[in-house]
Structure 1
């Protein structure tokens, strides 16, 4: 097998049409492959950056235009029996031609294609052309043919197997792409090739097992030999003449297992597979790094309803998750290094699971490989989101083909622990008025409850499947019932204050989130508004959520002082986002073992936007990221309202016992003690302990002038309880001393509180867009100090580092 990429020499042109701007006309521009039309036009200087200001609006014509990619490549024919044109990913409705002869058509972004082109190739120069028809025209034609289906946005994304969020979302732009978005090339081979290698890897007690399913494609009928090696174990099988499949079993004695973050090392082992001819000549090979681990999902009914508990290697794992969306509107800009950085940000925030959301894509090999390496579990949605999807042809066949491709492709990755049928579609059918408008038409049920579970059971029975997010486990039960299975909590953002999280007693929260704008430097890079204001044109365009700004204002009004200018608004909305999610996470974690997981919406962004993310579209960490790191720590101390009073809850997700003495003090905002007690904590690994606090500590003399602080020394973060909202508290004006000293690669800012300082935070990106800081949201009592380490390419102004608007505190 010889593999050759065809990534050079491509040219791009538009097919003439009424929507085509005069400036484009018959222009031919160099094309980057893999890539897409938008990035090629941008590189050629023919369109403005769609992420800046409202440039997105003027680019809608791109998705309604047909495009042609063309290249010339040299070929020298040999005596090989097959030459395949292999396309790992085409976006989306494509017609491929070699030397002017059509070789195939595609209409699914989420699967690969292979075409035998040997008879069409000639010695010397050959041409390869790929025409992409408008995704809009294709989708609208199927919509008109089959009848419309309801969805969350006025776009036809349900009628094409393409990344749904290309058509816009409440955090993303409408930029409908086309292009050769994954590798394309020629595979030259004879006799046979490995078509599919599907290792089903499990752990039985201490011993590992690989059930290796191999399928071959043949150019002849000779017998074949398949050999596999992993961790010192070897297996071999013969595929008799005319047959196309074999199953090999490899037993490995006590391999080092793969564990999720916080539970052990994510050990991996090389699995090598070779295909040989009868005379021992190698024909093809395949290699991956696998991990031995078992996964099961416990949904056995109990006194509280239906749990949703992942067990890895027979250990129950509390999920500390984040939802993942495509990290860029244009996926080919997402390099392995970028993924490694973004997943490292998740790991550093004490996250142990990423849910790959169903309106994006099946993620890349790099994504899963980095997740494997970091011990990050992955939940992968099948790609259906917020819409009723037709089950008629050609969609049913395409859905089955992509599911077969993707389930088989991802079996080697130990990080993948759960398949999910869809995002919110079963919920939508129940609650969003779909049934009347559907009038009996198909909407996707057959995919989620019949086709997909059957395919997962057939191709990958080592992993659980769950029909939807949310899903309660049975069709006769509301799909978003918090007491059963998984739930999404969105009333908090849409209609209610974030303290309502405490009204829920869920088993597993698969989505909940709160908005805030991106970092200041991100806004300054992407917007030319002067001055910046919450409702200035660029800010308004980069707020895609329905009534988003009104919801931000409502949230601020319930808790924080009124902003006096944009700097205040920016700081306080970011703070309120962090507060909301920290409150929710701490409440849900304090319910262990009733609630065994949370997946915050969302880790990342695909462009610069006001959204629910912890890391913005330029990769900068918002205050939420620091709050999440604290709330997701292995050991958590949190004060929670219980039975009309307060209780201290200590949560230990680690595997070792946690012993500590917690000092609980009620004191004034001036730092004067009003009451104190100590609590001896013994928290076994994988459990939590709740200790009611004495009434004299839980009831302040003056709510607006007091707080509660819990300190367990170095064994955990401090916990605070404030008896009054910030807008009502009698805060002293902030007074502090600050010093700045140079350290290697940066500066150390030390702040010593003279008065109480609540949620002290540094924003060095206001001074240099490349500057970062290691800590945020630190509350200090009078006399206490905190140190912030700032990293920047060049030293920052020490005076500016310790003044408004770079250094902020609530008071």
Structure 2
């Protein structure tokens, strides 16, 4: 059951904080019209979102990567660099505006980006989004966006050579070609939305990035809901708003894991001057990981979850990416897999740290079906550097992903 939370003073505060024009134009750059080449040995047309394997498969340049020994036979694709190009036109209305930004929701992974003859920026993480400013002189009526992808394997090899230490085994066995559950495909490409946005300097473009929903029961008959709203303002201002809402118990239905009760969700909407800025589905629930000592004579502690004051018997499994190529995963497939989890009477999935942070719809489905998520950060299966540049990148990743996902009641542990 979904119910609308509507509080006048919440909307009024947002009005005061973000009064401004919303004049902007967005040019989507996903879809068809991309040219992909690899040192002239491949030169194909493709669409975005897409990675080299699925693009070449759609162009009939390779056969299905999962067939036979193709995971080995196609390995040469990931050892070279690739270039993605997109030609697009801009209107007079677009070019008369004054501020321009490229937005990459997800790009995989190591790139140099150029627009016409202008260098735009670099990327080196699949797990954060990127926004790049573009000066007006770089833009024309007819434009070429060029993205040069480094081989992720060669990039990792070159990075490892900057360290004097080696990590055994230096000679891995030839039969090791992937994980226990999948073959090794090092994906290269653009795996989410990409667009160019224009606005005036006086424009404040508001994007509701995330809602941090902290729930706790202040008394037997009252809940307190603390909302931290994170806004991305393209005017380069940064604003966070914290608002506390006290909600009587009679207006709240709790979110429960599968087979323990209903999965009650509420829609929280934020408006600016009557225009919807963003909305989130939220739920009310408490989580405690009980780790109690058994006493001085017994080693170890208890380890179980308490949801809404009730101990939960965990029945679950491990979640790995359902396809090596994320652009082939549909929301319908996610629904089917998570529905199967629910019908099997499971109530928890551990999101494996060797995969990826899933798309929003995965968490929305888990919320709706009562599937709790034990969520790893993406640090499995390897040793990781601790140099300053790497740690800065990790800091960005953790902040971005936690802000993006923290409103989901299904996530019970990071």
TM-score (ref. length: structure 2): 0.84
Q: Secondary structure at the match of 1:244?
A: strand
| Closer/same/farther in 2, CA of residues 217 and 51 from structure 1, 3 Å limit | closer
**Pick from 313, 320, 323: which aligns with 1:325?**
320
Q: What SS does the corresponding residue of 1:172 show, helix, strand or coil? A: coil
CA distance in 2, matches of 1:46, 1:195: 41
Q: What corresponds to 1:342 in structure 2?
A: 337
The answer (yes or no) to whether the contact 1:62–1:177 under 8 Å persists in 2 is no
**Residues 167 and 14 (structure 1 numbering): CA distance in 2 closer, same or farther, change over 3 Å?**
farther
Contact 1:81 1:219 in 2 (8 A): no
Contact 2:210 2:406 in 1 (8 A): no
Aligned partner of residue 319 in structure 1, secondary structure: coil
| Aligned residue among 49, 74, 78 for 2:64 | 49
- Listed as ranges, the gaps of 5+ residues in structure 2 are 1-21
Distance of 1:316 and 1:110 partners within structure 2 = 34
Deviation at 1:388, TM superposition (A): 1.9
* Count of residues in Structure 1 that have an aligned counterpart in Structure 2: 376
Distance in 1 between the 2:290 and 2:231 partners?
36
Which residue in the other structure is 2:368 paired with?
373
Equivalent residue for 2:37?
Answer: 14
Deviation at 1:249, TM superposition (A): 1.8
Q: Which runs of 5+ in 1 are unaligned?
A: 17-24, 156-165, 222-241, 420-811
**Which structure exhibits the higher relative contact order, with contacts defined as CA atoms closer than 8 Å and separated by 6 or more residues?**
2
Q: Provide Cα deviations, 1:4-61, integer angstroms capped at 9, x if missing partner.
A: 4311333343342xxxxxxxx4432121211100001111111122211111111111
**Corresponding position of 1:306:** 301
Which residue of structure 2 aligns with residue 197 of structure 1? 210
- Mapped contact 2:36–2:83 kept (Cα < 8 A): yes
CA contact (8 A) 2:370 2:410 kept: yes
Summarize the Cα distance change of 1:354–1:74 in structure 2 as closer, same or farther, 3 Å threshold. same
**Match of 1:517?**
none
Is 1:5–1:185's contact at 8 Å kept on the other side of the alignment?
yes
TM-score by length of 1: 0.44
Separation in 2, partners of 1:153, 1:268: 51
1:40-91 Cα deviation digits (max 9, x unpaired)? 1111111122211111111111111111111122222266553321111110
Q: Equivalent residues in 2 for 1:127-142 (5 A)?
A: 127-142=144-159
1:295 aligns with 2:287: yes
Distance in 2 of aligned mates of 1:318 and 1:152: 40
**Pair 271,82 (structure 1): closer, same or farther in 2 beyond 3 Å:** farther
Task: Identify the residue that residue 70 of structure 1 maps to in structure 2.
Answer: 85
Shift in Å at residue 192 of structure 1?
A: 4.3
Report 1:692-707 matches (<5 A): none
Residue equivalent to 1:114: 131
Tell me how far apart the structure 2 counterparts of residues 319 and 390 of structure 1 sit (CA, whole Å): 34
Flag the structure with larger Rg: 1
| 1:408 to partner: Cα distance | 0.5
For the pair 1:168 / 2:178, whether they are aligned, the reply is yes
Distance in 2, matches of 1:153 and 1:88, equals 36
Structure 1 residue 127: Cα displacement: 1.8
Structure 1 equivalent of residue 381 of structure 2: 386
Change (3 A) 1:151 1:323: farther
Q: 1:357 to 1:219 in 2, by over 3 A?
A: closer
Q: Quick one: which of 256, 278, 285 aligns to 2:277?
A: 285
Query: How far apart are residue 387 of structure 1 and its match?
Result: 2.1
SS in 1 for 2:55: helix
CA distance in 2, matches of 1:316, 1:149: 46
Tell me if 1:405 matches 2:400: yes
The answer to whether the 8 A contact 1:202-1:210 is kept is yes
The 1:211/1:167 distance shift into structure 2, 3 A limit, reads farther
Classify 1:345/1:181 alpha carbon distance in 2 versus 1 (closer, same or farther; 3 Å): same
User: What SS does the corresponding residue of 1:402 show, helix, strand or coil?
Assistant: helix
CA deviation after TM superposition for structure 1 residue 364, in Å: 1.2
Query: CA-to-partner distance for each residue in 1:258-305, whole Å, 9 max, x for gaps?
Result: 11111110010001123x4xxx475x7111111111111111212452
Q: CA 1:418 to 1:396, structure 2 compared with 1: closer, same or farther past 3 Å? A: same
In structure 2, distance between residues paired with 1:206 and 1:187: 47
Deviation of 1:311 after TM superposition, in Å, equals 1.1
Of residues 190, 197, 209, the one that matches 2:224 is: 209
Q: Does structure 2 retain, via aligned residues, the 8 Å contact 1:270–1:290?
A: yes
* Structure 1 position 149, deviation (Å): 5.6
Distance 2:315 2:137 in 1: 53
Alpha carbons of 1:243 and 1:171: their partners in 2 closer, same or farther (altered >3 Å)?
Answer: closer
Q: Paired residue for 1:744?
A: none
Which protein is richer in strand relative to its size?
Answer: 2
